[in-house]
A and B are shown apart, each in its own frame.
Chain A
Amino acid sequence: MKFAQAMLAVAAATAMQFSGSPEAAATGKMKCDSGPQTTWKSRTDLEAKLKKDGWTVKKSKVDGGCYEVYGVTPEGQNVEAYFHPVTMEKLLVSQRGKVIFKK
């Protein structure tokens, strides 16, 4: 039964893809050891700084203790970027899951 074998192969490939290394599959997530939120700089400040640097910010939120920003870089790339909320340092930039910058 060719069809059954093909289905098994697809199931196996999928299982392997996701059981193997979640790290390799997941590129976008980032954790920041950033302490209590009272010590953080405001998200508005970060957005303002990015806009001044030539970014377009579509959306920003807190993720894993970092600030996560969806936007367009000055080079015109649509990205998801992570910043440290205390130092405002750029930590990770991923373009549709492809890491284009990592501190």
Chain B
Amino acid sequence: MLRLINVHPFFWALLAFPAVGMLAGFVQDPVSAFDLIHPSGEFSVRFMIIAMMVSPLRAVLGRRRGLDWLLARRRALGVAACGYGVLHLAFYLYDMGDWGMIAEEALIFSIWTGYAALVIFIAMALTSNNASQRIMRANWKRLQRLVYPAALLIALHWVYVDGETMGMVVHFVPLLILETARVVLMFKRRSARRGKEALTG
């Protein structure tokens, strides 16, 4: 069983598993689209956060086998985050069912932040392949770093749609702590290096 999870296609299937349940529920009862908006969005956020945690974890803990394992699957997690984001939008559009109202709502702060984040996700997912990475060179990394503004947009989208902060905070706090630790560590290492240079230089 543990070996099986190491097989990449199996890992992709694992990530797709919740979506199968959601789609089955939707096919049985299309009215459930309303209830599926929230969980699909939450899975998108979860996969994004796990993918985003790999780098700061490596910066804080150093190289670990478990982290290398996760790093090898970061692309799958990112693409899954985008997939669930698209599913989230699809359930929302179906539930709305009226293009005029959809356009009207798109101007509300809580809604356009969601669209903006999804545009970033789609651009990132479309370039999540070795060929794009090769062709785009340094720009590839620049594009992937847009995940940070996307994360902020998603946090705002969540809080403003829900009218409460708890759900968002519970999901984002681990990432925020790790990123803070990474930045603090970076400044510490740099000042330590400078101190050394001052002594020897």
Contact = CB atoms under 8 A, between A and B. Distances in A.
B is bound to A? yes
Contact of A17 (B98, B145, B156): B156
Contacts of B111: 96
B163 A94 contact: yes
B31 to A, nearest CB: 8
Interface stretch (B2-10, B66-74, B78-86, B175-183): B175-183
Contacts of B94: none
18 contacts: A10-B148, A11-B183, A13-B152, A14-B152, A14-B176, A27-B160, A27-B163, A28-B162, A28-B163, A28-B164, A76-B100, A77-B101, A78-B95, A95-B105, A96-B105, A97-B108, A97-B161, A97-B162
A76 B109 CA distance: 19
Contacts of A15: 176
B176 A96 contact: no
A35 B179 CA distance: 46
A96 B152 contact: no
Interface string A57-88: 01100000000001000001110100000000
DSSP class of B's interface residues: helix, strand, loop or mixed?
A: helix
Interface size grouping (class) on chain B: 35 or more
Given A78-B96, A96-B108, A70 B169 contact: no
B136 interface: no
A48 interface: no
Contacts of B165: 18, 22, 25-26
Contacts of B109: 97-98
